[in-house]
Amino acid sequence: MKIHAILLIGLAFVGLFQLGCGGVAPGVFGANDKATVIAKTAQIRTSYAVVAADLLEVKRGDSLDVIDEFEYEKVLWFRVRAHDEAATEGWIEAQNVITSATLAKSKALAEEFKDQSPQAAGVIRSASNLRAAPDMNPENVLFKLSNGSTFEIMAWKFVPKAEVPDVDDAPKGQQKSGKRSKNAEIEAAKEEGEPDKLEDKYDIWYQVRLDPSVSPAPAGWLFGRQVELQVPTDIVFFQQNNRKFVTWQRLDADSANKVGSGDKTLAPGNWVILARNSFSKPIDGVEPDFDSILVMAFDKYDQSYYTVWRSSPNTEIWGRLPLKVDGKGDNKTFSVSLRNSSGQMDEKRFIVFKDKNRLRVTPPEDIAQYETKVK
């Protein structure tokens, strides 16, 4: 214990010396300030110095009291008190925790869709900032989500393209420098009169819900360039090159994992799928979330999929999320919001049922008025 006390005193002097050599003065925290560990594991240390000793390993979800903060060489540290028997006090790098105020922002986002089913599943391809809003404002960063993290997609937003970095990994409170350059060859090759492509006109932001095993913060926004949709492997091969799946939900009676979140290899089953092509087609400045509907079912005797119902060939619909699936057992319904010929949005309900072991769908009687012929 004496050696430990001497070490703490010595490192305290080191910290005072460093304050005049690149450190930033400590902040002010109240007695009730809290933080939650977001890293899988992290160390509480005797100091923010390179030579500091580890005092205690903490794990994702652990709660800490925040006593103070200190920025040294552009790295923010919190002085914290753990809730172990020894009430260990020390320093932890700020990127490993989320403060109670920031966590409250994430929880407020989660409240927006607490009663809604997920629309899709995804994974990030590189470490990326989880944000409180779908923009690059440095103040909106909640924390950095690690590479390979999985999540449920609850909604998305098309934002007109700005010249921003391809990777959103700037530290909280900072905006990454560097701009995306336009591909001159693609621009030159574009045929006159060809519709704009979504990827050329917009950036997409995904509103996501996170499992507690991934993050104590339940929700936020992710920059779409780092997001890969996790379409389950048993249906991904039915995608067409010119029309990608954007939303899917299981129709099986006993399926709890509706979108296959975190599991691309689910057993074959019955699905309602919303898809859209890659061309921009806004109405009053708003893009549709999907332009076609497909219902597929798996025949366990033939061990193959069959099409139950789909939008009429050579037509498109103009639809908006969310996709809602209701009912129990083999009797289900799904509902979507479709734009009618007068420009109004109507919620339309499709009835799903079993007939002689074959899945069937009864569409709305007036579905034809929501379909537009395409060339």
Q: Write the pLDDT tens digit of every residue in 86-101.
A: 999 999 999 999 999 9
Contact, 142 vs 130, CB < 8 A? yes
pLDDT for 14 beyond 90? no
Q: Write the pLDDT tens digit of every residue in 28-68.
A: 454 458 999 999 999 999 999 888 999 999 999 999 999 99
Neighbours of 212 (CB within 10 A): 10
Is the CATH number 1.10.8.190 carried by domain 2-102? Answer: no
Q: What average pLDDT does the structure give for the chain?
A: 84
Query: Where on the phi/psi map is residue 178: left (φ > 0), alpha (ψ -120 to 50), or beta?
Result: left
For the chain, residues classed under CATH 2.30.30.170 are 2-102
Distance CA 274, CA 296 (A): 11
pLDDT at residue 170, as a whole number:
67
Task: Catalogue the E-assigned strands of 311-357.
Answer: 315-316, 319-328, 331-339, 345-355
Q: Write the pLDDT tens digit of every residue in 265-314.
A: 678 889 999 999 989 899 888 999 999 999 999 998 889 999 999 999 88
Task: Please name which of 214, 308, 303 lies closest in space to residue 261, comparing C-alpha atoms.
Answer: 214
Q: Residues of the chain with pLDDT > 90: what percent?
A: 57
Opening angle at CA 22, ends 19 and 25, nearest 5: 45
DSSP state letters, 173-242 = T------PPP-HHHHHHPPTTPPPBHHHHEEEEEEEE--TTT-SS-EEEEEGGGEEE---HHHHTT-BTT
What are the structure tokens assigned to 1, written together? 């214990």
In 3-state terms, what secondary structure has residue 6?
Answer: helix
Contact, 217 vs 130, CB < 8 A? yes
Task: Please name which of 233, 242, 259 lies closest in space to residue 322, comparing C-alpha atoms.
Answer: 259
Distance CA 321, CA 334 (A): 12
pLDDT at residue 24, as a whole number:
42
Q: Write the pLDDT tens digit of every residue in 110-126.
A: 999 988 899 999 999 99
In 3-state terms, what secondary structure has residue 134?
Answer: coil
pLDDT at residue 240, as a whole number:
84
pLDDT at residue 287, as a whole number:
94
Q: Write the pLDDT tens digit of every residue in 72-90.
A: 888 899 999 999 999 999 9
164 vs 233 pLDDT, higher one? 233
Confidence of residue 5 (pLDDT cuts 50, 70, 90): very low
Q: Which residues pair with 362 in a beta bridge?
A: 351
Q: Which residues pair with 123 in a beta bridge?
A: 150, 228
375 vs 156 pLDDT, higher one? 156
Contact, 205 vs 107, CB < 8 A? no
What are the structure tokens assigned to 39, written together? 């890293």
Full-model pTM? 0.82
pLDDT at residue 186, as a whole number:
45
Q: Which residues pair with 206 in a beta bridge?
A: 156, 222
Contact, 55 vs 42, CB < 8 A? no
